[in-house]
Structure 1
Amino acid sequence: MYQDRKAGEMHKAICADCGKECEVPFKPTEGRPVYCRECYQNHRPRRRY
């Protein structure tokens, strides 16, 4: 399942929100947004306890 991915391999991407260059641990898929660490925090669902 993960044979394409090497341990620790990072891929460059552009954040869909702020436009900054960032690195992600997966190969970005064309047509799907990628977010930097800061913007991802705003997009992930809030945890309810």
Structure 2
Amino acid sequence: MSETDEGSGSERQMYDAVCSKCGQPCKVPFKPAEGRPVYCRNCYRPRRSRY
């Protein structure tokens, strides 16, 4: 396997996004989908405890 193959232990690709709650730019480990909210680390943490 080459170093660029997924699952090889290399860093994940990060995508630029804007937090739906606070409006701050952030990076997320998934490609944001149109129409779906994205939260920065600080805004996501309190939401996570609800689930």
Q: TM-score range by the shorter chain?
A: 0.7 to 0.9
CA distance in 2, matches of 1:11, 1:20: 14
Q: 2:29 aligns with which of 25, 28, 31?
A: 25
Structure 1 segments of 4 or more deviating over 4 A?
none
Number of positions where the alignment pairs a residue of Structure 1 with one of Structure 2: 42
Q: Secondary structure at the match of 1:31?
A: coil
Partner of 1:10: 14
CA distance in 1, matches of 2:22, 2:40: 8
| Gap runs ≥5 in structure 1 | 1-5
Q: Secondary structure at the match of 1:39?
A: helix
- CA RMSD for the aligned pairs? 1.7
Identity of aligned residues (%): 55
| Gap runs ≥5 in structure 2 | 1-5
Does residue 38 of the first structure (1) align with residue 12 of the second (2)?
A: no
Aligned residue type for 1:16: S
